[in-house]
Amino acid sequence: EPLEVTASGITQTTGYTFDVMINYTNLGPATAYDVNLTVYAVPSTYTTFNTTFKSCGDLGVNKSCTLGVRVNVLPKTPPILIVLYGNATWRNPDVTLNTTVGETDIIVAENPVIEIVEDEVRKETPHDKTTYVGNITVASLGNTPVTDIVLSLTGGNLGTDCPDCAVTLFPNEWGVLDPGENFTVDITVTVPGGQPPGVYSVSYTHLTLPTTERV
């Protein structure tokens, strides 16, 4: 238990943790000797466990043994199906070996996440001139690609207090940004002649089409 888990919210830095209980019960008609419980996952590269083995010894009829396992689905895990196997092995009274296997399906959900890394960019910009202000970094932090990214300007007092000022973002669009990748956007500002001194601001945002889980 459980038979199925959806691992949601996985990013480049955050994984997903849950507990699974593996239960072996000897239904008879004789004693099961040297019962061992193990756990493993396929594929194996995306999970870790706090324990993978338990020796239960000899179990009589209707006796049980359980193995509790904390499963960690690692950060950066892509949207895939991971099958978790709980395996029990034992020796019969006639010295033959036997085994049984239970499964838990781990469904790793898509989690596209996009973020502008910098909180702000500041630059003194003279009037009657176009000035390079700096750059911002747009990063894909989820576990699946983000597509059709569009950057735009919003908020601040620049548009109202300096309607002839122009802010240019380059590039302001990006097609596909794979998980863990980023791109740099250059910012230039053109200020007309005669613009009064002051502190002007504008904010920028990002949109993705189609809409992802986080915008």
Strand segments (E) across 92-128: 97-108, 114-116
CB proximity list for 45: less than 8 A, separation 6 or greater: none
Rounded Cα gap, residues 63 and 106, in angstroms: 29
Eight-state DSSP code of residue 191: E
Q: Token pair for residue 78?
A: 């892509």
Based on the number of CB atoms within 10 Å of its own CB, is 156 exposed (0-12), middle (13-18) or buried (19 or more)?
A: middle
Q: From first to last of its 215 residues, what are the pLDDT tens digits of the chain?
A: 899 999 999 999 999 999 999 999 999 899 999 999 999 999 999 999 999 999 999 999 999 999 999 999 999 999 999 999 999 999 999 999 999 999 999 999 999 999 988 888 888 888 899 999 999 999 999 999 999 999 888 888 888 888 898 899 999 999 999 999 999 999 999 999 988 888 888 886 766 544 333 22
Asked if 82 contacts 117 with a C-beta cutoff of 8 angstroms, the reply is no
